[in-house]
């Protein structure tokens, strides 16, 4: 029997916010029926208007505050919330760190697992940290603009200061935008599937300050390409690489499969934990270098290597964790599904004079099964999967190999909880507290390091 929701659309109510969701929205309960409210913080009393009612939950908007949280930050720019760039900017930073610790603990307790979660490792300056930007380009009132989409829409809000990005990247985007305007290069129009420039991507080395500009285009060649490239590298002396990426498909996917270097090198270099890395346009590289060093150092320390171990790094990307581990291990095997990332990883191993590493292009779960059949016996397995977490077959292959330790670097607490439960069924237990690391300040995302040991 369908029960009727205790609230109706457009109804006004006075509520107290009980908690925050994993997306950073306030939660108020009316007869145990949850309402999700943007820009509301725990403990606040407010008047709300219900905007949408589903069978088990609803959404509302805040109309007036009767009391405010002591953790509320006042001088926020609502654009950053509208675009989803900084959905937690209205929450004081120490409270953001507590929220992330609580988020992990809460998910484990819902799964009836009693775990210890350490306080989140934060940043001294929790803004201006991103070393990579991907911004959409659109025509607005006949002029090419760069900015960010309003949440849940494709309406571009023009922006020049992105708050959480390296300011040198923000400045570079404006210069590239102005040069594209000067050459009257039209932005892509997704409705008519016409126009040229879809997105601008900028990467900048945190230590090296080398900069890469990637122009993502619908067309194989840009109008006035040679002059355009010349202007960009004159306007931005830090630029060591200008790349054209062609994406001719009618799709929401940002990058296409064709990448051509128009100026300089196809990669930029940066360092991490004292190692040098070449980073190409399409390769994955963590966007918060300061926190990545803390995260990876934590993973290495928790692996407890003595120099005698065989280690597998599933989801190795361009070899960032693999090479850091290789300095302390006998041999490291890395796997990643992106072939360009594996090419970069091999180059990076040579750059850092490390020969005790082997890299394979494959889906992690397939390669793990193959290594298991080949009789490879790792002492430690490190996993750093995407948000969807680990394939069940990968967990099974890992358990069959019987490593003493699995170090799980997670970017999604929900899939971490699920995967840990599977490891526990196969004879592994959590060792020590889970360590959250704030890779993405001002947003609800949290990374963490969990160690599992064989019983």
Q: Residue 54 is part of a domain; what is its CATH number?
A: 2.40.50.140
Query: How many C-beta atoms surround the C-beta of residue 363 within 10 A?
Result: 16
Instruction: With cut-offs at 50, 70 and 90, classify the pLDDT of residue 84.
Output: confident
Q: Do residue 154 and residue 218 come from a single domain? A: yes
Q: Do residue 168 and residue 252 come from a single domain? A: yes
Average pLDDT rounded to a whole number, residues 44-51: 96
Clarify whether 411 is annotated catalytic.
Answer: yes
Q: Which of 107, 126, 125, 123 is nearest to 115 (CA)?
A: 107
Query: How many C-beta atoms surround the C-beta of residue 452 within 10 A?
Result: 25
Q: For the segment 282-321, what is each residue's pLDDT rounded down to a tens digit?
A: 888 899 999 999 999 999 999 999 999 999 999 999 999 9
Query: How many C-beta atoms surround the C-beta of residue 101 within 10 A?
Result: 20
Q: Do residue 306 and residue 441 come from a single domain? A: yes
Q: Which of 60, 57, 39, 46 is nearest to 14 (CA)?
A: 46
The predicted pLDDT at position 75 comes to 79
Looking at the structure of the chain, the number of domains it has is 3
Q: Do residue 297 and residue 262 come from a single domain? A: no
Q: What is the CATH number of the domain that holds 140?
A: 2.40.50.1070
* 99 inside domain: no
* 352 inside domain: yes
Q: Do residue 217 and residue 254 come from a single domain? A: yes
Last residue of a domain, one of 70, 99, 120: 70
Active-site residue (options: 411, 416, 434, 452):
411
At 96, list the tokens.
């953001």
- Average pLDDT, rounded, for the chain: 94
Q: Do residue 369 and residue 425 come from a single domain? A: yes
pTM: predicted TM-score of the whole model, two decimal places: 0.90
Round to whole Å and give the CA distance between 34 and 152. Answer: 21
Last residue of a domain, one of 70, 91, 118: 70
* 242 inside domain: yes
* 83 inside domain: no
Instruction: With cut-offs at 50, 70 and 90, classify the pLDDT of residue 1.
Output: low
In this predicted structure, the answer to whether residue 40 has a pLDDT above a threshold of 80 is yes
Which residues fall within 8 angstroms of residue 366, CB to CB, at 6 or more apart? none
SS3 268: strand
Note down the domain range covering 145: 132-269
In this predicted structure, the answer to whether residue 266 has a pLDDT above a threshold of 60 is yes
CA dihedral 42, 48, 53, 58 (to 10 degrees): -10
The predicted pLDDT at position 213 comes to 98
């Amino acid at each position: 029997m369908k029960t009727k929701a205790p609230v109706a659309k457009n109804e006004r109510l006075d509520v107290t916010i009980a908690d925050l969701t994993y997306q950073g929205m306030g939660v108020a309960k009316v007869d145990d029926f949850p309402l999700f409210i943007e820009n509301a913080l725990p403990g606040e009393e407010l008047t709300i208007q219900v905007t949408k009612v589903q069978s088990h939950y609803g959404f509302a908007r805040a109309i007036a505050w009767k009391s405010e949280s002591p953790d509320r930050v006042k001088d926020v720019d609502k654009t950053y919330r509208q675009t989803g760039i900084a959905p937690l900017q209205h929450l004081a930073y120490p409270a953001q760190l507590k929220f992330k610790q609580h988020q992990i603990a809460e998910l484990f307790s819902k799964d009836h697992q009693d775990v210890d979660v350490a306080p989140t490792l934060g940043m001294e300056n929790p803004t201006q940290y991103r070393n990579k930007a991907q911004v959409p380009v659109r025509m607005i009132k006949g002029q090419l603009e760069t900015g960010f989409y309003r949440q849940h829409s494709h309406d571009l809000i023009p922006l020049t200061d992105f708050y959480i990005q390296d300011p040198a990247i923000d400045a570079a985007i404006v210069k590239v935008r102005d040069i594209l305007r000067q050459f009257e290069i039209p932005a892509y129009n997704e409705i008519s599937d016409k126009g040229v420039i879809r997105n601008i991507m900028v990467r900048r080395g945190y230590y090296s300050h080398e900069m890469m500009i990637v122009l993502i285009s619908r067309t194989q060649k840009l109008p006035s390409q040679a002059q355009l490239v010349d202007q960009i590298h004159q306007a931005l002396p830090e630029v060591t690489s200008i790349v054209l990426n062609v994406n001719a498909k009618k799709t929401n996917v940002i990058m296409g499969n064709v990448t051509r270097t128009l100026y300089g090198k196809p990669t930029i270099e940066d360092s991490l934990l004292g190692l040098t890395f070449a980073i190409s346009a399409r390769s994955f590289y963590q966007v918060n270098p300061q926190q990545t060093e803390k995260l990876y150092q934590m993973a290495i320390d928790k692996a407890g290597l003595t120099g005698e171990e065989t280690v597998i790094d599933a989801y190795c990307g361009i070899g960032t964790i693999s090479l850091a581990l290789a300095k302390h291990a006998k041999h490291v095997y890395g796997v990643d599904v992106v072939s360009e990332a594996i090419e970069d990883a091999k180059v990076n191993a040579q750059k850092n004079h490390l020969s005790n590493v082997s890299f394979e292009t494959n889906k992690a779960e397939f390669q793990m099964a193959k290594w298991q059949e080949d009789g490879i016996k790792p002492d430690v397995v490190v996993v750093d999967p995407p948000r969807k977490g680990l394939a069940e077959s990968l967990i099974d292959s890992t358990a069959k190999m019987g490593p003493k330790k699995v170090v799980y670097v997670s970017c999604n607490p929900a899939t971490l909880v699920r995967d840990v439960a599977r490891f526990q069924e196969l004879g592994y237990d959590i060792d020590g507290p889970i360590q959250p690391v704030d890779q993405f300040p001002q947003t609800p995302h949290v990374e963490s390091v969990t160690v599992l040991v064989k019983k």
